[in-house]
Amino acid sequence: MTRKLRVAMIGYGFMGAAHSQGWRTAPRVFGLPAEVEMAVIVGRNADAVAVAASRWGWAESAIDWREVVARDDIDVIDIVTPGDSHAEIAIAALAAGKHVLCEKPLANSVAEAEAMADAASTAAKSGIRAMVGFTYRRVPAVTFLRDLIAEGVVGEIQQVRAAYRQDWLVDPELPLAWRLQKEHAGSGALGDIGAHAIDTTQFVTGLNVAAVSGTIDTIIKKRPLLGSGAGFAGTAGEGHGDVTVDDVAIFTGRLENGALVSFEATRFATGRKNALTVEVSGTKGALAFDLEDLNSLSFYDRTAPADRQGFTKILVTEAQHPYVAAWWPAGHMLGYEHGFSHQVKDFVEGIVSGVDPHGTFAEGLQVQRVLEAVESSSARESAWVQIETTEFTRHLPPREMETQWLAR
């Protein structure tokens, strides 16, 4: 370990807590090729951000992100703010020579995402790395699912079913938080959780979504204005305001190879708390993943004898599985928070080795184009919309990247 990376995190809400967990834990679990220092956390409320710094382990707090980006003693900017500020912060940080980790979706529009991808491409020429926080890629079972598909286990991909279903908006009295306002969030269920369903599909299949046809809807159109209090949505105040984003998005996609994908993103799936699911069917078999059972995969081997066919459960907790060897003995489960430690591991290794860590800003731009196409399709009575393909390099599985790094 010959260098230090001093990290500044901009934002301190729900994702701030999750990213802090990753920055705290990864250096203690993985043999990272650089020392990580949680230098400063930034937020607009001085008292609140100071409390967050103390609680989550940041050395200091600040209220002006521009001053922090300009500091010579900061190497990494981690962006966990609402989407309306992603582009401005990321572009400024990259121009200042800082490595950037940015929460998904990359931006609130394709134009912003294009500017961010261009800035990342320019910065990469000087050895500066940028990554989008598609954390579910780094759930060991999802990475293993991708590896198995790449090995040809399911054969030629014929159909995919992907969904991300939650129910936290079912209560009509839940207040009008920033996630329900287009000027801050960009879109609703589509961008917030649909982005994960799109990215997971493209990640595990290695295929971009080439066209979409879909519909979005806002089920509850007015909500109580946000009052005092903390938490994911805060407490209700007086009066009501308009919900300006979607509550549910249902759309069909066609992959580059012609296979169809059914997508669903909803915050109104009563009883579903955090159900990201993906099932890939092919000529040789099928693989399925469910985030609410995140330590396993379901595998169907179509080539097995007829009297032995049926979905079987693969417990993804062995040392041979992605990321798992650094944690507990075989059979001991990992959770939601571990993905953020894996994210830090891959990001730091990418910075030190000079390899763009996945997902790149170019991959984030690809997802942004799919999101925009779904909105465009809905506005045109579900007409099919073709998607401009973003050019980027598909990256090796983390285990292979690690082998390359050790061989350097």
Encode pLDDT of 122-159 as tens digits: 999 999 999 999 999 999 999 999 999 999 999 999 99
Which of 364, 396, 393, 376 has its CA nearest to residue 114? 364
pLDDT for 227 equals 73
Tell me if 405 is assigned to some domain.
Answer: no
The pLDDT of residue 21 is above 70: yes
Last residue of a domain, one of 91, 106, 135: 135
The helix/strand/coil state of 202 is helix
Tokens of 195: 């982005």
99 touches 129 (CB < 8 A): yes
String of DSSP letters for 253-313: EEETTS-EEEEEEES--TT-SSEEEEEEEESSEEEEEEGGGTTEEEEEETTS-GGG-S-EE
Q: Which domain holds residue 62?
A: 4-135
Answer yes or no: do 72 and 43 share one domain. yes
Query: In this structure, is residue 320 part of a structural domain?
Result: yes
> 38: part of which helix (H) or strand (E)?
strand 35-42
pLDDT at 101: 98
pLDDT in the model for residue 405 = 30
Q: State whether 169 and 275 are in the same domain.
A: yes
pLDDT of res. 3 = 81
State pLDDT tens for residues 196-251: 999 999 999 999 999 999 999 999 999 999 875 544 556 666 799 999 999 999 99
pLDDT at res. 402 = 40
How many Å apart are CA 26 and CA 311, to the nearest integer? 34
Q: What is the pTM of this model?
A: 0.93
Taking 90 as the threshold, does the pLDDT of residue 391 lie above it? no
Identify whether residues 149 and 53 lie together within a single domain.
Answer: no
- Whose CA is closest to 22, among 380, 356, 349, 341? 341
* Per-residue pLDDT at 406 exceeds 50: no
Q: Per residue in 50-61, pLDDT tens?
A: 999 999 999 999
**CA–CA gap between residue 48 and residue 357 (Å, rounded):** 32
Instruction: Specify which residues 176 forms β-bridges with.
Output: 225
Mean pLDDT of the chain: 93
pLDDT of residue 110: 97
pLDDT confidence bin for 343, thresholds 50/70/90:
very high
What is residue 357's predicted lDDT score, i.e. its pLDDT?
94
**397 in a domain, yes or no?**
no
Residue 394 lies in a domain: no
User: Is the same domain home to 354 and 216?
Assistant: yes
C-beta pairs of 55-61 under 8 Å, 24+ apart in sequence = 56/12, 56/16, 56/17, 56/20, 56/21, 56/24, 57/20, 57/23, 57/24, 58/9, 58/20
Predicted confidence at residue 228, as pLDDT, reads 56
Distances (CA, A) of 173 to 55, 111, 169, 188: 30, 34, 9, 17
Task: With beta carbons less than 8 A apart as the criterion, state whether 363 and 132 touch.
Answer: yes
39 and 76 co-located in one domain: yes
Asked whether residue 345 is assigned to any structural domain, the reply reads yes
- Are 223 and 180 in contact, with CB atoms under 8 Å apart? yes
Average pLDDT over residues 22-41: 97
In a domain, 406, yes or no: no
Over residues 279-318, the pLDDT tens digits come to 999 999 999 999 999 999 999 999 999 999 999 999 999 9
Residues 333, 301, single domain; the answer is: yes
Q: Is there a single domain that holds both residue 123 and residue 141?
A: no
pLDDT of residue 399 exceeding 50: no
- CATH code where residue 343 lies: 3.30.360.10
Helix (H, G, I), strand (E, B) or coil at 165: strand
Out of 85, 105, 135, a domain closes at: 135
How far is it, in rounded angstroms, from Cα 366 to Cα 161? 19
Is residue 401 situated within a structural domain?
no
Instruction: Please check whether residues 155 and 235 belong to one and the same domain.
Output: yes
Mean pLDDT to the nearest integer, 67-74 = 98
Are both 52 and 109 inside the same structural domain?
A: yes
| Cis peptide preceding 105, ω within 30 of 0 | yes
The domain boundary, picked from 135, 165, 184, lies at: 135
Asked if 279 contacts 161 with a C-beta cutoff of 8 angstroms, the reply is yes
- 234 versus 399: which is more confidently predicted? 234
| Res 403 pLDDT > 90 | no
What CATH number has the domain bearing residue 43?
Answer: 3.40.50.720
Q: Is residue 78 in some structural domain?
A: yes
Cis peptide before 16 (omega within 30 of 0): no
What does the block give as tokens for 227?
A: 């009052």
* Total tally of structural domains belonging to the chain: 2
Examine the pLDDT at 393 and tell me if it is beyond 90: no
pLDDT value of position 408: 27
pLDDT beyond 50 at 401: no
Q: What is the mean pLDDT of residues 364-385?
A: 97
Strand, coil or helix: what is 101?
Answer: strand
Q: Taking residues 22-29, what's their average pLDDT?
A: 98
Angle (deg, nearest 10), helices 46-56 and 14-29: 30
| Residue 116 and residue 185 share a domain | no
Please indicate, yes or no, whether residues 118 and 192 belong to a single structural domain of this protein: no
Separation between Cα atoms, residue 226 and residue 162, nearest integer Å? 32
For residue 55, what are the contacts with CB-CB under 8 A and spacing of at least 6?
A: none
Do residue 350 and residue 257 come from a single domain? yes
